[in-house]
Amino acid sequence: MDDYPVDVVAEYPERSSRLLALAALLGGVIKLLLLLPHLIVLSILGFVAGIAAVIGWIAVLFLGSYPRALFDFQVGILRWNLRVNAYFLSVTDRYPPFRLDP
């Protein structure tokens, strides 16, 4: 499996926030309210990513390659979405930043 293109590395935290664990036990309502701005922006960007995917498909059809800028944009949205989901599911205690880059 050395040639597999994706490596997932998860660091085990030395300490975990007990307050955030309590929030997760209460149904995640607090986290959901904290993540509301992320969810609004990500829903808008998800719509834009769908349009970008159609543009990329047309570009592949005529140019033969997927534009790097569109690829980076869509990967950035997926990274941001993953960080938000990891925070909501208590995989990490770090609040996700508002950015597309890693």
pLDDT digits (tens, 9 = 90+) for 20-61: 777 667 767 878 888 999 999 999 999 999 999 999 999 999
Q: What are phi and psi of 100, to 5 degrees?
A: -90, -25
Is the full-model pTM beyond 0.85? no
Three state DSSP letters for the chain: CCCCCCCCCCCCCCCCCHHHHHHHHCCCHHHHHHCHHHHHHHHHHHHHHHHHHHHHHHHHHHHCCCCHHHHHHHHHHHHHHHHHHHHHCCCCCCCCCCCCCC
pLDDT: which is higher, 25 or 93: 93
